[in-house]
Amino acid sequence: MAEKTDKNTVVVEKTPTVTFTLDGREVTVPKGTTILLAAQSVGIDIPTLCWHPKLTIAGSCRMCYVEIEKWPKLAISCATEAMDGMVVYTDSDLVRKGRAAVIQFTLMNHPLDCPTCDKGGECTLQDLAFAYGVDNSEFDFGKHRFGATENDTTFDDVVVGPEIVLNRNRCIRCYRCIRANKEAFGEFDLGVFERGNHTEINVAPGRRLDNPFSGNLTEVCPVGALTHLDWRYKIRVWLTDTTSSICPFYSSGSNILLYTNQQQNKIYRATSRVNDDIDDGWLSDTTRFGYQVAMSPDRLKMPLIKKDGKQVEATWEEALKLIGKRLTEITEKKGRVCIGGLVASSQDNATLFSFSKLLRKVVGSNNIDFRTDYRMLPQTSGGAYDVLCSQPFSIVGINQSDVIVTLGSDLVKEHPNEYLRIRKAVNFGAVSVYAMNPYRTKSSDVAKKELVYQAGTEEILINSICLVAIEDGLIDSSLAGNLAECISPSTAAESAELCEVNLEDIRAIARALADGRQITFFAGEIVGRSINREAIAAALCNLHRLFGLSGRCQMNILPRHANSCGAVQLGLLPAPVLATKDMLSKLWGGWPESEPQTTDRMMANMKKDEIDGYMIVGANPIMLYPDREFATDALEGLDFLMVADLFETETTALADVVLPLASWAEYSGEYVNLEGRVQKTHQALKTDYDARPGYEIAALIAQQLEQPLFENDQTRDETITKVLAVDSTLPWPDEFLEVKHVADEVDEEYPLVLFVGDDSHHSGYLTEKSNSLTNFQAEPYVEISPTLAKRLGIDDGDSVRVESPVGKIVVPVRISHHINNDVVFVPMNFSGKQVNSLIMRKSRVDRVRISKVVD
Amino acid sequence: MILTPESVTRIKDAAALYPQAKSAILPAITIAYRQVGHLNPDLYGEIAGILDIPAVEVAEAASFYTMFPKEPVGKYLIQVCHNISCALLGAEGLLSYLQDKLDIEVGETTSDNLFTLVRVECLGSCATAPMMQINHDYYENLSRAEVDRIIEKLTAEAQSGGTL
Amino acid sequence: MSFYSPVRTNAQEAAKSDSLPLFRFVEDPEQTKIDTYEAHGGYQAWRKTLTEMTPEQVVGEVKNAGLRGRGGAGFPAGVKWGFVPKGSTKPKYLICNADESEPGTCKDRVLLERDPHAVIEGMAIASYAIDCHLMFIYIRGEFGYAADVMRAAMAEAYKKGQLGKNIHGGGYDLDMIVHTGGGAYVCGEETAQTNSIEGRRGNARMKPPFPAVAGLYGCPTIVNNVETLASVPHIINRGGDWYKTLGTEKSTGSKIFSLSGHVRQPGNYELLLGHNLKDLIYSPKYGGGIIGDKKLKGVIPGGSSTPFLKPDQIDVSLDYESLASAGTMLGSGAVIVFHEETCIVWIITKLIRFYRHESCGKCTPCREGTAWLELLINRIEQGGGKPGDIEKIESICDNIMGRTVCPLGDAAVMPIKSAIAQWRDEWQYHIDHGKCLVETKCELAPGN
Ligand SMILES: Cc1cc2nc3c(=O)[nH]c(=O)nc-3n(C[C@H](O)[C@H](O)[C@H](O)COP(=O)(O)O)c2cc1C
Ligand code: SF4
Ligand code: FES
């Protein structure tokens, strides 16, 4: 084990080991290893019920007995550390009898309703009873039954949340669910009540089990006590096949297994495919239940083309012909630069790369981007923001950190996996977490301090950390250089005041950064979406330099989507970083002359008639662009719009050609996660209608333009591999960057700051097509603090009008402790309400007012 | 709010004593019980709010401890120890005597809402068996005559509007 | 109303004796007041500890005295204190275990209600010995009066400077919290007790780690019984060498015995360890014999979780070793006596109901096993016993014994195993005939 003593020296200490005898063989393991883990390491399986590799040890089921020579009693191997010279038997007569007794006790009140239990076939208790030949015929009394309640459906089942069903009679009281829920997820909607043989797991009084990780509980439960509605009574597990896949919604790419049945051509559920390096075996509910999107009956099944102002069904051939014709017309009439494209970063590498080549090589313009929901992006690349985004990041690195700092990230909503990682670091390590956010988030549960700053002041906040470090002499003064001249205000106190934060809190973060040996520091979507992102990134670069973080900190602005990293690396930025651009121009024998245009610039140019043809793949700017009016005007002003998507959306409604896009579950693809790790999905479903993957669509369009894209799939993939191999990490700036305070005008009429983003059970615009996820949340709402609610005389669930200078919507109120008083949050995941009509692409901070709707 | 300002203050004072606020769950439950006479989820929520902890943790703890009724009970909660030392000296007889006298079964409350009768495990009063606890007080070395006197006294006390 | 326990004691004997220190003043109604306590020599040991002794010396003295835990397990107190890791920078905690819930046991209540300062003084000295600055007393929730007395005594102790900051100018700070329980026998178990104080459910925790290393709030914690701690001031005042002269060689000192059940004079009696059990039951000074001049049937010598003794086994010395050789335990010193008109199965129904009710529910064997045992035993008692039930009970007992997280499982099955071993015929009769061999006659006294 490498034990670091200070920032520079690394002392390698030899880990002490112990040697003991296990079933006659000598085993050496690090001191502190339990007998159970030691046995697992040499391939000896000891049965367990309550033990779970990712949770603290409960030691309650007593299944994992082993016999230790000279010990008076059987020992539980999950909690007993191996010690030098121990002689352990894992399968002696005594052990087998002990375990059989445990099974007998466990079966005593168990209903043994295996024929109708959804866990049948994958139930640990069932397997163990079988292995130890135990039934419960010796127990000749009536079984204890937990009382029926109004919510009861069939048997003894109680629906305790939107998806979760609890059967207390099957529960063996291993407390895995409770531990997972409380420890791993930090959730308190489930509890243990009563005691003795009446001890029961149940939802907290007045709550429902609806936390963003609730689906994991069904996997954690070793028996059929916790199951989910989505899977129940649909199929027996042994009639399913599994296909490995990854989560298409978040940038860490959690590993999943899709349970399918080929005859039915259906996916029945998704479970974790444990990958400790990425997800530790936990999935967010969005990841788990998101597969239903692919199977939605609303899927677009045929191409549509506009005829006489109306979209009508057409064949692929007709549609493609039309695309080819219109694109050619536009290029011929107005030039190549009049065609642009938006390809979402949820698409796989092949799709992204194919469209990139289609636009740059076949069409011949630099009008390509993958960002829908980011306003006013810079035209050029290589600025501070790109530097930060390009930095290496490792998920397990989070757990190796002693200091974790986050900036502008509502973690559970945008990076649920990383949120759980941070929780784990806190639970099992000595780590200090500091979260800085413009509103209170669930990070406050893990953070030593969640620092809530005035919205839109991120860069000043970062400045203040730097300033306090200089003022307090926390850093080597020679490092400070001319920083003070580059930033304003020039004192920590003034900066802190502008951000409305306590200087002491800033000081604590500065101290942690100065002392941290391994730091993880990342910013999230609130920074990414900010119009001010370049200044914030510059401030972060300054901080990196001032604190000398090189070599002891992974700092990044985390990408949000499943393949954001792939998009960047494959050159989907209008102006890719130099190394990538060089590689691509080499491969393609040149580079378009035209000025690179971001989505925002292209939209502006659509209005000016400088972009006439536009192709959108898997994106819905009308719903998500942070200025609905602007986006609508732009797209309506086009001569030709092609949209490929899974569903009809408000964007496809404007299109001249709509193409049915295959979902991630319908073809095999590759995605690059936020660590730069390339991961594969495999085909789990065959569409029985004619939806096609993005890369195929690109190839077909290229054919129409008479310029085939790739010789074949293999050459395409080889090229992709080459491009991905390019190191696109950008160097940190070698000087301090200017970061000055710019005052934000506040319109007194609109006193509340509006944040938009994802609901904790949704991601983007597709998940409202998942039944399970809409069972959790089907509608937008406005989240406000109890204090604000009180001030406005609003109750939970009341309808309110949310008004900004440019728009208004009416939504129900959700009162939440996870928000502060002058901020409101509205999720963007629901198409019915035009949430983005409230925001303007040019505003740094969105402001609204709310009022109760009286009917 | 069900808890009175006094109860809230007492809970806060208790929390201040401990190294961790969560430790005040049991004191808080006790205070709430003493004020209300029984516990319920609304009280758990209030306590959780005061201590700034999840309500489920209060509910979990409260359900573990059997001393606090979770449903309303009569003015006088008669808890008869039926464990071994008391049983040897007539605890079952004591229970049936009380049942007859109050005309209720164990677990029930008299129609005038005065008495609720329950069985409890050993109350640590074994050398003065048989015994019972009524609300917060012990009554020991019981005999039929003694029980008559106690019930009579409490009934009179209740009629004269006496407090607990 | 009988707030103050009307229990009979041998205080008068103790007052005259030089060797029964615990009960010397328990019949003095003024003893709860700090002035009286001090006038009786109270808090001198505390002063001496602070001004003349190092923590090591205190531990040494208590070790030398051979004082063994009075809570049930009989572990040497000084040795336990010595387990607190030296040089640990974490806070250390002392908990005085006043949960007194083991059926038959009612000895601590007398000390709590009648000599609270002795408990506080003992707690303070033990705290000093382990470098603890915040000590707890965990009083079972039903002991409302005892808790009131203790709180009043604590307030006085603060006022008089026996607790608080810079006590007796010696620079030692010590605070105290009176924590009351909520009705749970298992919270008398030390790890469950720490959970309970932390505001958690009173589930037992796995050992190791032992509380002395990681207990309350994860910090080194010593849990001692009320009586153990109340004995400490006497040891400090008069020395371990003196204490050793009391009792037997390995069971030193005096101990309070709670005598209950079918005896003429139930009560709490402080005796030297090594006192004869038969004498305790029959001596006119103590039990005064069996009520109604009935014949003795059996004795539980150390609280409801200890194995039974039959009449021919009661000529035994009440000390840890002798009772162990007799196949039982001194436990908490609760002697429960029952006469010939008591059915053994009936007795066991009371006990198993209790243990089933008090199981915390955490571990499988205790949670399920006690419930199964209760069903089987009730069935036998109600006349529905089936052939093989006795063997089944024995096998369930074996599958609980030594297999649970905390000793509650053992406590539940030890008396059952013993009752079967000692009165097997009676169990068999019950099954064969569907009724008791001896009908239980336990009636409520008419009184006057
Ligand atoms: C189920 C159970 C209940 C117990 N109840 C008590 C109790 O009420 N009082 C007590 O002092 N010890 C009780 N103990 C023993 C304690 O765990 C612990 O050993 C004791 O308090 C230590 O104090 P001592 O060393 O001074 O005896 C109990 C143990 C178990 C297993
Ligand atoms: S519900 Fe399942 S996971 Fe939870 S305690 Fe019961 S058996 Fe274990
Ligand atoms: S797995 Fe070891 S006790 Fe449950």
Q: What is the pLDDT of residues C279-300, one digit of tens each?
A: 999 999 999 999 999 999 999 9
| Stretch A708-713: mean pLDDT | 94
- Number of helical (H) and strand (E) elements in chain B, helices listed first: 7, 4
Question: Which residues, in sequence order, are bridge partners of residue C135?
Answer: C94, C176
Q: What is the pLDDT of residues C355-386, one digit of tens each?
A: 999 999 999 999 999 999 999 999 999 999 99
Q: Which chains touch B (3 or more CB pairs under 8 A)?
A: A, C
Of A59, A60, A141, the CB nearest to C375: A141
Let me know if domain A314-381+563-724 sits in CATH 3.40.50.740: yes
Task: Give Cα separations from A134 to A75, A102, A702, A821 (angstroms).
Answer: 21, 10, 66, 59
Question: Which residues, in sequence order, are bridge partners of residue C334?
Answer: C258
What tokens does C282 get? 């029959």
Q: Is there a single domain that holds both residue B52 and residue B124?
A: no
Residue C191 has pLDDT above 60, yes or no: yes
**SS3 state at A131:** helix
Q: From the CA atom positions of chain C, what is the Rg in Å? A: 22
Residue C203 Cβ < 6 Å to ligand 1: no
What tokens does A305 get? 């083309």
Q: Which of B18, B42, B64 is the last residue of a domain?
A: B64
Q: Is there a single domain that holds both residue B32 and residue B83?
A: no
Average model confidence (pLDDT) across chain C: 96
| Residues of chain B contacting residue C447, judged by C-beta atoms under 8 Å apart | 142-146
What was the pLDDT predicted at C359? 97
H or E element at residue C296: strand C296-300
Task: Specify the CATH number for A394-557; select among 3.40.1710.10, 3.30.420.10, 3.40.228.10, 3.40.50.720.
Answer: 3.40.228.10
Q: Is there a single domain that holds both residue B58 and residue B80?
A: no
Atom of ligand 1 nearest to the CA of C99: 8
Instruction: Give ∠ CA A387-A341-A701 in degrees, rounded to 5.
Output: 130
Q: Does a structural domain hold residue B49?
A: yes
Of B54, B55, B60, the CB nearest to A193: B60
Residue A739 has pLDDT above 70, yes or no: yes
What was the pLDDT predicted at C67? 98
Average model confidence (pLDDT) across chain A: 94
Neighbouring C-beta atoms of residue A733, cutoff 10 Å: 15
Q: How confident is the model at residue A431 (pLDDT cuts 50, 70, 90)?
A: very high
**Residue labelled with tokens 């430790």:** B23
Residue C7 CA from chain centroid, whole number: 17
Neighbouring C-beta atoms of residue A14, cutoff 10 Å: 6
Neighbouring C-beta atoms of residue B105, cutoff 10 Å: 9
Ligand having the closest approach to the CA of A169: 2
CA of C242 to the centre of ligand 1 (A): 26
Q: What is the pLDDT of residues B40-77, one digit of tens each?
A: 999 999 999 999 999 999 999 999 999 999 999 999 99
Residue A223 Cβ < 6 Å to ligand 2: yes
What was the pLDDT predicted at A13? 59
Contact between residue A539 and residue A481 where contact means Cβ atoms under 8 Å apart: no
- Orientation of helix A124-131 relative to helix A93-108, angle to 10°: 130
Q: How confident is the model at residue A157 (pLDDT cuts 50, 70, 90)?
A: confident
Q: How far apart are CA A619 and CA A372, in angstroms?
A: 7
Q: Does a structural domain hold residue B141?
A: yes
Instruction: Give ∠ CA A723-A728-A732 in degrees, rounded to 5.
Output: 175
| Residues of chain C contacting residue B123, judged by C-beta atoms under 8 Å apart | 142
**What CATH number does the domain containing B90 carry?**
3.40.30.10
Q: Is there a single domain that holds both residue B54 and residue B83?
A: no
| Whether ipTM exceeds 0.85 | yes
**Residue labelled with tokens 């198409």:** A831
Q: How far apart are CA C112 and CA C152, in angstroms?
A: 11
Å between C169 CA and nearest CA of chain A: 37
Residue A854 has pLDDT above 90, yes or no: no
Let me know if domain A157-295 sits in CATH 3.30.565.10: no
* Range 52-71 of B in CB contact (< 8 A) with A: 54-57, 59-60, 63-64
Of C5, C143, C442, the CB nearest to B90: C442
What tokens does C366 get? 């205790």
Q: What is the pLDDT of residues C36-59, one digit of tens each?
A: 999 999 999 999 999 999 999 999
- Number of helical (H) and strand (E) elements in chain C, helices listed first: 18, 11
Q: From the CA atom positions of chain A, what is the Rg in Å? A: 29
Q: Is there a single domain that holds both residue B80 and residue B51?
A: no
Q: Do C444 and B93 touch (CB under 8 A)?
A: yes
In B52-89, which ranges are continuous DSSP H helix? 55-64, 84-88
Domains and CATH numbers, chain C: 8-244 (3.40.50.11540), 254-339 (3.10.20.600), 344-433 (1.20.1440.230)
What was the pLDDT predicted at A7? 40
Residue A147 has pLDDT above 80, yes or no: no
Total domains present in chain B:
2
Give the rounded percent of residues in chain A with a pLDDT score beyond 70: 97
Q: How confident is the model at residue B162 (pLDDT cuts 50, 70, 90)?
A: low
Q: What is the pLDDT of residues A177-196, one digit of tens each?
A: 999 999 999 999 999 999 99
CA of A228 to the centre of ligand 2 (A): 14
Of B25, B65, B142, the CB nearest to C184: B65
Q: How confident is the model at residue A10 (pLDDT cuts 50, 70, 90)?
A: very low
What tokens does A654 get? 């404007």
Sign, CA dihedral A219-A224-A230-A234, equals positive
Domain span at residue B83 reads: 76-160
Give the rounded percent of residues in chain C with a pLDDT score beyond 70: 99
Residue A3 has pLDDT above 50, yes or no: no
Q: What is the pLDDT of residues A359-378, one digit of tens each?
A: 999 999 999 999 998 988 87
Q: What is the pLDDT of residues A464-476, one digit of tens each?
A: 999 999 999 999 8
Q: Write b or e for each residue in A609-619: b if 16 or more Cβ atoms lie within 10 A of its Cβ, otherwise e.
A: ebbbbbbbbbb
Q: Which of B24, B43, B64 is the last residue of a domain?
A: B64
The CATH code that applies to domain A17-132 is 3.10.20.740
Q: How far apart are CA A47 and CA A36, in angstroms?
A: 9
Q: Does a structural domain hold residue B109?
A: yes
Q: How confident is the model at residue C126 (pLDDT cuts 50, 70, 90)?
A: very high
Å between C169 CA and nearest CA of chain B: 24
Q: What is the pLDDT of residues C17-39, one digit of tens each?
A: 999 999 999 999 999 999 999 99
Q: What is the pTM of this model?
A: 0.95
Average model confidence (pLDDT) across chain B: 96
Q: How confident is the model at residue A809 (pLDDT cuts 50, 70, 90)?
A: very high
Q: Which chains touch C (3 or more CB pairs under 8 A)?
A: A, B
What was the pLDDT predicted at A719? 97
What was the pLDDT predicted at C3? 55
Residue C249 has pLDDT above 60, yes or no: yes
Task: Give Cα separations from B96 to B117, C103, C105, C144 (angstroms).
Answer: 11, 22, 25, 27
Q: Give me the CATH topology for the region A745-852.
A: Barwin-like endoglucanases (2.40.40)
Neighbouring C-beta atoms of residue C332, cutoff 10 Å: 32
Q: Does a structural domain hold residue B70?
A: no
Q: Does a structural domain hold residue B69?
A: no
Q: What is the pLDDT of residues A11-62, one digit of tens each?
A: 455 789 999 999 999 999 999 999 999 999 999 999 999 999 999 999 999 9
Q: Tell me where in chain A the CATH 3.10.20.740 domain(s) lie.
A: 17-132
Q: Is there a single domain that holds both residue B27 and residue B84?
A: no
Q: How confident is the model at residue A152 (pLDDT cuts 50, 70, 90)?
A: very low
Amino acid at the residue C443: E
Phi, psi for A824 (deg, rounded to 5): -130, 155
**Atom 8 of ligand 2 has which residue's CA nearest to it?**
A174
Residue A153 has pLDDT above 50, yes or no: no
Residue A746 has pLDDT above 90, yes or no: no
Is the pLDDT higher at A836 or at A477? A836
Give the rounded percent of residues in chain A with a pLDDT score beyond 90: 90
What was the pLDDT predicted at C1? 36
**Atom 6 of ligand 2 has which residue's CA nearest to it?**
A171
What was the pLDDT predicted at C2? 40
What was the pLDDT predicted at B164? 46
Cis peptide before A660 (omega within 30 of 0): no
| Stretch A546-551: mean pLDDT | 96
Q: How far apart are CA A825 and CA A759, in angstroms?
A: 9
Q: Is there a single domain that holds both residue B84 and residue B118?
A: yes
Q: Tell me where in chain A the CATH 2.40.40.20 domain(s) lie.
A: 745-852
| Stretch B79-95: mean pLDDT | 97
What was the pLDDT predicted at A148? 54
Amino acid at the residue B164: L
Q: Do B41 and A205 touch (CB under 8 A)?
A: yes
DSSP secondary structure letter of residue A335 = -
Q: Is there a single domain that holds both residue B43 and residue B85?
A: no
Q: How far apart are CA C205 and CA A289, in angstroms?
A: 37
Q: What is the pLDDT of residues A264-299, one digit of tens each?
A: 999 999 999 999 999 999 999 999 999 999 999 999
Which residues, 6 or more positions from C419, have their beta carbon under 8 angstroms from its beta carbon?
C308, C344, C345, C347, C348, C427
What tokens does A346 get? 């949820």
